[in-house]
Amino acid sequence: MLNTRGLALEVRLSAYLDGELGDQERKELDDLLTRSDEARHILDTLKSGSAFGNTAFDDFLKDPVPLNVVRRIKQGSASVSPATERVVEARTSAARTKIWPRALAASLALLLVGGTAGYIIGSKQVIDIAPAQTATAVSRGWLDEIADYHRIYASQRDHMVELDSDEKPQIESWLNASVGVPFRIPDLANRGLAFQGARLLVVQGKPVAQLMYRDQEGDVIGFCFLRNTENTTVTDPKEDIRDDLALISWKKPGASFVIVGPSSDASLQTIAADIAQDI
Amino acid sequence: MRSAVEQNDFRRDLVSLLPKLRRFALSLTRNAADADDLVQEACERALTRHHLWNGEGRLESWVYALTRNLWVDEVRKRKVRTGAGLVDAGEHDELVVDASGEKAVFASQVQAMILSMPEGLASVFVLVNVEGHSYREAADILGIPIGTVMSRLSAARIRLAAMMNRTSERRA
């Protein structure tokens, strides 16, 4: 315990307020406070300053944390210097705005070349090219739509899902039949996630299963998948960020999967890895 | 060598700590841009050195101390570059008031007001009054004597009380 004798009264009373003083000194100040208006006034001032500061500093916790920091921690890429990374990100961002017209032009050119070539070679090849182009468009856009759906449904208190968690057998048979991807509802209780239920989404004309979980902090984590007959390979989970949401997506022959949740949730990668192993 | 699970747990804990770490960084830098840079650098450092974290005590104390050390280094570098610049309060007996115009950065005038407190007061206040660290822990994190923690804490409380009174008068 501290000895504050000889220090300014406000310093002693401040330590008294924090319970940092020994019994004897605390009693000494108790006595002083019963006798001295000035001491009581100082103590009241210290208390009101504490309360005001607590409220003000608590408000800082509501400020958003830098997304790039969250992302880097989750991905564990600690080798990049912050200054370099910021520059790289700024360039990437600037470049992205300039590149898309070129990309669009290139896509149109490819489409034209492909279509023309297909026309020249024969109608069968034209049909072969079209699904590949469609698949590319779907794989680029479906994560954005999943993020949009998640933002809407995760905030629904009473209507987050179509079928509740107590209807697991119905959910499995319904979504198996509707989506065309055989699955069992993953049990993520060991990850602190409680299954809430499921709903069927439509993303770019395709049925998508959406299973919803809630973690111990109340955040909602979604697990979505759709049939993707064009895909014949297995890919490792990779992370995409859409503002406040992180999407960990991967593919298996015939299907695409994604875990979606708050970008600040560092466990999403592990959850995705667990599911990818089991499903 | 730590297992992948331990590494993941560490990352998760670090992400959970970010709001509080940013607040602590703000209390050191009193400037949002510097605080964000400092948080980023502190997290990089924590990730590369997390094998040094022994898992005992509070993770935040270890990360805070690391953050504070980085800020002291940064202040020193700026001092060398500019010949003066910012000075870490831990190295000076006299406190310096930063009159930078950070108010525009913050939506809340109160936040701007408390960040305009003399250097060294906000960080002690955050550690002890807001987050409940003991005087000893705060002294260790900030690398200052306990006596300095005590005097800065009482000074911070009195200043905050005065700010509260001014805020109340403006509203009246």
SS3 for A233? coil
**Cβ within 8 Å, pair B164-A50:** no
Q: What distance in Å separates the CA atoms of residue A204 and residue A180, rounded to the nearest whole number?
A: 16
pLDDT digit string (tens) for B39-73?
989 998 898 887 777 777 788 999 999 999 999 99
Residue A197: phi and psi, rounded to 5, are 140, -165
Domain count, chain B: 1
**pLDDT of A262 over the 50 cut:** yes
pLDDT digit string (tens) for A6-42?
899 999 999 999 999 999 999 999 999 999 999 999 9
CA-nearest of B28, B42, B146 to B86 is B28
**pLDDT of A138 over the 70 cut:** no
Could you count the other beta carbons within 10 Å of the beta carbon of residue A221? 24
* CATH number 3.40.1000 given to A141-278: yes
Q: What is the pLDDT of residue A180?
A: 92
Q: Which amino acid is at A142?
A: W
Integer-rounded Cα radius of gyration of chain A: 29
Cα-based distances in Å from A90 to A8, A93, A174: 52, 5, 46
The mean of the pLDDT values for chain B is 80
CA-nearest of A128, A209, A7, A75 to B145 is A7
Q: What is the pLDDT of residue B51?
A: 78
B61 touches chain A (CB under 8 A): no
Q: Which residue has the tokens 């003066």?
A: B84
Q: What is the pLDDT of residue B3?
A: 63
Q: What distance in Å separates the CA atoms of residue A128 and residue A233, rounded to the nearest whole number?
A: 18
Residue B117: phi and psi, rounded to 5, are -65, 155
| Residue B14 banded pLDDT, cuts 50, 70, 90 | confident
Considering only alpha carbons, which residue of chain A is nearest residue B37? Answer: A82
The mean of the pLDDT values for chain A is 78
Q: What distance in Å separates the CA atoms of residue B47 and residue B11, rounded to the nearest whole number?
A: 8
A65 touches chain B (CB under 8 A): yes
Q: What distance in Å separates the CA atoms of residue B69 and residue B114, rounded to the nearest whole number?
A: 23
Q: What distance in Å separates the CA atoms of residue B112 and residue A110, rounded to the nearest whole number?
A: 54
pTM metric for this prediction:
0.56
Cα-based distances in Å from A253 to A146, A227, A228, A232, A274: 20, 9, 8, 4, 18
Q: What distance in Å separates the CA atoms of residue A66 and residue A207, rounded to the nearest whole number?
A: 35
A178 touches chain B (CB under 8 A): no
| Residue A90 banded pLDDT, cuts 50, 70, 90 | very low
Could you count the other beta carbons within 10 Å of the beta carbon of residue B36? 21
**pLDDT of A258 over the 90 cut:** yes
Question: Would residue A256 be called left, alpha or beta, if left means φ above 0 and alpha means ψ between -120 and 50 degrees?
Answer: beta
**pLDDT of A269 over the 90 cut:** no
Q: What is the pLDDT of residue A65?
A: 74
| Residue A230 banded pLDDT, cuts 50, 70, 90 | confident
Percent of chain A clearing pLDDT 70 (strictly above) = 76
**pLDDT of A130 over the 80 cut:** no
Taking contacts as CB-CB distances below 8 angstroms, the residues of chain A near B27 are: 57
**Cβ within 8 Å, pair A4-B157:** no
CA-nearest of B132, B148, B115, B140 to B23 is B115
**pLDDT of B93 over the 80 cut:** no
Taking contacts as CB-CB distances below 8 angstroms, the residues of chain A near B148 are: none
Q: What is the pLDDT of residue A188?
A: 92
Q: What mean pLDDT comes out for the span A212-224?
A: 91
**pLDDT of A263 over the 70 cut:** yes
Residue A40, beta-bridge partner list:
none
**Would you give the distance in Å from CA A72 to the centre of its chain?**
13
User: Is beta strand A245-252 parallel, antiparallel or unpaired with respect to A206-214?
Assistant: unpaired
Contact, A55 vs B164, CB < 8 A? no
The CATH number assigned to the domain holding B117 equals 1.20.140.160
Q: What is the pLDDT of residue A75?
A: 65
Residue A2, beta-bridge partner list:
A21
**pLDDT of B168 over the 90 cut:** no
Q: What distance in Å separates the CA atoms of residue B18 and residue B43, rounded to the nearest whole number?
A: 9
ipTM score here? 0.81
**pLDDT of A46 over the 90 cut:** yes
Q: How many CB pairs under 8 A join A and B?
A: 144
Q: What is the pLDDT of residue A86?
A: 33
B6 touches chain A (CB under 8 A): no
Cα-based distances in Å from A133 to A124, A143, A245: 15, 17, 27
Q: What is the pLDDT of residue B172?
A: 64
Least confident of A240-249, B77-86, B119-128, B143-152: B77-86
Its domain, for residue B38, covers: 4-171
**pLDDT of A91 over the 70 cut:** no
Window B:144-163, CB contacts with A under 8 Å: 146-147, 150-151, 153-163
**pLDDT of B123 over the 70 cut:** yes
**pLDDT of A69 over the 80 cut:** no
pLDDT digit string (tens) for A99-129?
434 444 444 444 444 443 433 333 333 333 3
The two tokens of residue A105 are 């032009």
Q: What is the pLDDT of residue A76?
A: 60
Taking contacts as CB-CB distances below 8 angstroms, the residues of chain A near B40 are: 66, 68-69, 72, 82
| Residue A268 banded pLDDT, cuts 50, 70, 90 | confident
pLDDT digit string (tens) for A140-195?
588 989 999 998 999 888 889 999 999 999 999 999 999 999 999 999 998 889 99
Taking contacts as CB-CB distances below 8 angstroms, the residues of chain B near A72 are: 40, 43-44
**Cβ within 8 Å, pair B154-A56:** no
Q: What distance in Å separates the CA atoms of residue A58 and residue A60, rounded to the nearest whole number?
A: 5
Judge residue B69's burial from the number of C-beta atoms within 10 Å of its C-beta, 0-12 exposed, 13-18 middle, 19 or more buried. Answer: middle
